[in-house]
Structure 1
Amino acid sequence: MPSKKEALVKNALIIAFGNASVQLISFLLLPFYTSHLTTQDFGVVDLITTYSLLLVPILTLEMGMAAFRFLIDAREDPKAKTRIITNVVQLAGVILLVLVGFFFVVIQFVHIPYGGLALASVATAVLPALLMQFARGLDRIKAFAASSIVAGLITVSLNIILIGPFNMGARGMLIAGIAANLVSSLYLFITLRIHRYIDFRTGDNAMRRELLKYSVPLIPNTISWWVINAADRTIIAIFLGVASNGIYAIAYKFPTIFTTIFSYFGLSWAESASVHINSKDRDTYFSEVMTASVKFFGSLTCVMIAFMPIVFPLLVDKAYSEAYQYIPILIAASFFSATAALYGAIYIAKKKTKDIAMTTIWAGVLNVVLSLVLIKFIGLYATAFAAAVAYLVLTVYRHHDSKKYVAITYEGNVLIQIALFFIFTTAVYYYNALPVTIAGAVAAAGVAVFLNRSIVGIAKTKIFSKLKGLPPDAVIAEEELNR
């Protein structure tokens, strides 16, 4: 039976494989999309997709997250699993009916591009949003990852066919997305055998109230990040102009890579934290994971900054060269955001979703206020700096506040080490002389390996055990003998 840490890492890798493989394919097909779609088509699809991401958490009342958390506690209780899933399905059914009715009223007064397809895009997005959380809650992480692969392959395949030979443009992309949602949902429904967990006799108001009490506070938490991003872009556009918004958007692309990588681990950590929140060795386990996570993602932050002067000119046109100035601050902001999310998993585990919502909202307010105050004085640095400060304050607050649930302690001077590492790589970044940059990048890679030597050692042992066909313990014993 795998240890807690092994299960955590294994699940993170499974999630990463499921998502990263599809994202890579989509990225490689970007030239195909841009050559076959007009900017207007791309803009319409992006707008519908963006609003789908905003609307799904609202329309589902974040019931998927409630199902995930409650199913973790019910993994050994078939009746409880049936009760939870049945009540979530009932609520989702009512929500979908209301959505369809509301949509048909709205289109009488407002023109919505590709109206029917836009509705179908949002409505079908609700299905995988719920079913994927069922998979996580039922400890079917491979099915969770596989559904992402299924959805990605369907999307890519149909896009190539509908946009290419059939020349359907934006309509083709929307149809591909709808089909992907339906097929991946059907896959999960069959694989998880969801029909076994639906018994409408188990539906009751008490269960629904309990689920909603947990899920509803998560809505402002989810929306706030969307609002913060939109507010930043709006502030920049008003005070500095649309061109500056373009510069900022390019600078933000690189921290997004960090955020994407962290998201794979974040999903796995949220589950592990919920499973082990009442374990006897909880404080030790949580402290070890937090220490290792800060080391790893702090090192990733610094390595990205160190290599950015080499990568940036290869990927970005000179017209956007100003974006270079803001990347380290935005990557640091992403690191603080990730660390705050690590603490957020504790609130999820303790079912204290109101605390998550309130801390996130206050961080968002701080972000917007700082941006408004500073933007006239330091330009685009204001929004980048405001984001970093807001997420840092959020992290520090959650660290102290979460002590009433879990006593997190960091090993040694890990925080000082990461801080010094960041100062070093940032200084080399802004010095921006090629010989110094190359030396700094090599040094950063070496420091990252050194700081994460325990993780590197475990990975090496795992790899050699696979190659030699031996269990990891046997490989360790063999290495000790060779010494």
Structure 2
Amino acid sequence: MSRKTELAKNTAILTVGKLCTQCISFFLLPLYTAILSTEEYGTFDLLVTYSALLLPLVNWQLDQGLFRFMLDYRGNKEEESKLLSTLLFSSMMQSVVYFGMYLIITPKLHIENAYFLLLYVILQVFTALFLQFVRGLGESVKYTVASFISATTTTILNVIALVILKMGLQGLFVSTLSAQIVTLIYLIFASKCWEYISPKNIHLSIFKSVGTYSIPLIPNNLAWWVVNASDRTIIAHFLTTAANGIYSVANKFPNVFISFYNILNLSWTETVSLHYGDEDRDEFLTETMTSLFKLFAAACFGIVACMPFVFPIMVNLKYSAAYNQILILMYAMLFRVLVGLYSCVYVAQKNAKKIAYTSISAAIINIAVDLVLINKIQVFAASLSTLIAFLSMFIVRYIDVNKTVHMKIRKPIIIGSVLIGGMLIGTYYCGNRMIQFAALCITAVYAVLTNVDILKSGVNLVKSRLGK
């Protein structure tokens, strides 16, 4: 199987499950925004955001280390057993320590709904570990099914809690935790992890080896949290939780976009790591990088062009202020995609320190811009700081990666994207539906023309499958 076919196959499998889950949760957005107040939605979003901060501090990113090292030992059950046994035992010990710290710290801080942070983080420690375990085994279908179960169960239980039981904010907490439990149970049985777990295979040397790779990822993930989530904290502190609710809704649309990148990134990371030593590596990386940029740029611009027509249908009127933030956040996410595509080279090199350095720099920029502008332009400060942070991180990684690996985007593609992106900035805020419709048509033509090779490959793949 060729590298491109391998990448396409893995991405297709992961996309099927993610597409279903994203559609379900996305089209229920009107329900959430209608039932929950902006304050309630903002509170829930903050706690989920804080759990993302706590997770790398608790699990030390050992799940990422598990996946990366399993790529080196794929098919060697003995080594896979040593990896899982050691890291599962470590995760249990780390969760016990986290629980102890919770009992000591929480009474002093008086955090509302702190139980959610405790349980959600612990469940995520083990869910993340087993997700990366099945992924490391090469079981993309099981990984996809687990993601589908998580999103679908969360959505169904949210609807039951909000609409039928009318539990409000507490219903969101309970249903989200329940969905994590269901997902974890599935992963345990789907992976048949008991065949790999043995006390005799717990080795300190393995923990040290994986930890050497994983622990430098902690500041990286904290930096990502700062870039992604400090905005919410600053908004809640300097403005209101209602403003945070507005910002959270604005992020829903960019999150759909970035979710599809996250699907591909799973396959892309694996492909780059497995084929990093190939003789034609640079040619393959440049060609594939250009194709991926064309695809994601077209998707980004397409979503922006559709927003004037989709937003009023999807979002309740009380969240209308979120519209102004979406274009800025979409462009920020496009740069985030580029950052992720280039960071796969660092993963292949097992160079976690460079991942951390560049991410920390972006985090500092994000906070600085946010704090300087928050009292002047309010919620816009959060969106702009995110855009500037990801743009700066992309520039740094682009320059650094190309010092050792030739991985560039073709200039004509960059120029075309700048022109379309600039046009949309002008039409997005103009309020004239005719002009916005014209922009949508131009964007659609651009998307088709720049991705005609990908479309042809997709059509030929479908025909070949149907022929068989």
User: How far does residue 77 in structure 1 lie from its aligned partner after superposition?
Assistant: 2.5
1:358 maps to: 357
C-alpha distance in 1, partners of 2:245/2:168? 25
2:209 maps to: 210
| Amino acid in structure 1 at the alignment position of 2:332 | A
2:11 maps to: 12
1:384 maps to: 383
Residues 438-482 of structure 1 show CA distances to partners (whole Å, capped at 9, x for unaligned) of 222112101110001100111111233344x24xxxxxxxxxxxx
Contact 1:121 1:174 (C-alpha < 8 Å) held by counterparts: no
Q: 1:349 to 1:369 in 2, by over 3 A?
A: same
| Amino acid in structure 2 at the alignment position of 1:94 | M
Superposed counterparts of 1:145-164, under 5 Å: 145-159=144-158
Contact 1:74 1:81 (C-alpha < 8 Å) held by counterparts: yes
Residues 406-464 of structure 1 show CA distances to partners (whole Å, capped at 9, x for unaligned) of 21133452212211222233333344432222222112101110001100111111233
C-alpha distance in 2, partners of 1:24/1:347? 32
Q: Percent identity?
A: 34
1:421 maps to: 420
Superposed counterparts of 1:390-405, under 5 Å: 390-405=389-404
| Stretch of structure 1 that moved more, 293-302 or 132-141 | 293-302
> How many residues are paired up?
468
TM-score (norm 1): 0.86
1:122 maps to: 121
User: How far does residue 31 in structure 1 lie from its aligned partner after superposition?
Assistant: 6.1
1:337 maps to: 336
Contact 1:132 1:144 (C-alpha < 8 Å) held by counterparts: yes
1:24 maps to: 23
| Amino acid in structure 2 at the alignment position of 1:200 | P
C-alpha distance in 1, partners of 2:371/2:182? 45
| Bigger radius of gyration among the two | 1
Q: 1:46 to 1:372 in 2, by over 3 A?
A: closer
Contact 2:81 2:196 (C-alpha < 8 Å) held by counterparts: yes
C-alpha distance in 1, partners of 2:154/2:239? 37
SS in 2 for 1:351: coil
C-alpha distance in 2, partners of 1:42/1:310? 24
SS in 2 for 1:413: helix
| Amino acid in structure 2 at the alignment position of 1:343 | Y
Contact 1:67 1:134 (C-alpha < 8 Å) held by counterparts: yes
2:220 maps to: 221
Superposed counterparts of 1:282-301, under 5 Å: 282-301=281-300
Q: 1:240 to 1:110 in 2, by over 3 A?
A: closer
User: How far does residue 163 in structure 1 lie from its aligned partner after superposition?
Assistant: 5.7
| Stretch of structure 1 that moved more, 274-283 or 447-456 | 274-283
C-alpha distance in 2, partners of 1:237/1:40? 10
| Stretch of structure 1 that moved more, 230-239 or 425-434 | 230-239
User: How far does residue 184 in structure 1 lie from its aligned partner after superposition?
Assistant: 2.2
Contact 1:283 1:406 (C-alpha < 8 Å) held by counterparts: yes
2:53 maps to: 54
Contact 1:273 1:346 (C-alpha < 8 Å) held by counterparts: yes
Q: Structure 2 stretches of 5 or more lacking a match? A: none
User: How far does residue 85 in structure 1 lie from its aligned partner after superposition?
Assistant: 1.4
C-alpha distance in 2, partners of 1:370/1:142? 42
Residues 329-387 of structure 1 show CA distances to partners (whole Å, capped at 9, x for unaligned) of 32211111110111111111211111111101101112222334455665554443333
Q: 1:81 to 1:420 in 2, by over 3 A?
A: same
Residues 253-301 of structure 1 show CA distances to partners (whole Å, capped at 9, x for unaligned) of 3322322222222222122222222222221221122111111111222
Contact 2:223 2:359 (C-alpha < 8 Å) held by counterparts: yes
1:439 maps to: 438
| Stretch of structure 1 that moved more, 317-326 or 351-360 | 317-326
C-alpha distance in 1, partners of 2:422/2:39? 43
C-alpha distance in 1, partners of 2:411/2:436? 29
C-alpha distance in 2, partners of 1:96/1:454? 48
User: How far does residue 181 in structure 1 lie from its aligned partner after superposition?
Assistant: 2.5
Contact 2:227 2:386 (C-alpha < 8 Å) held by counterparts: no
C-alpha distance in 2, partners of 1:191/1:319? 43
Q: 1:460 to 1:200 in 2, by over 3 A?
A: same
C-alpha distance in 1, partners of 2:184/2:333? 31
Q: 1:34 to 1:381 in 2, by over 3 A?
A: closer
Q: 1:43 to 1:436 in 2, by over 3 A?
A: closer
| Amino acid in structure 2 at the alignment position of 1:439 | A
Q: Which has the higher contact order (CA 8 A, sep 6+)?
A: 2
1:67 maps to: 66
| Amino acid in structure 2 at the alignment position of 1:223 | L
| Stretch of structure 1 that moved more, 196-205 or 143-152 | 196-205
User: How far does residue 250 in structure 1 lie from its aligned partner after superposition?
Assistant: 4.3
C-alpha distance in 2, partners of 1:226/1:264? 19
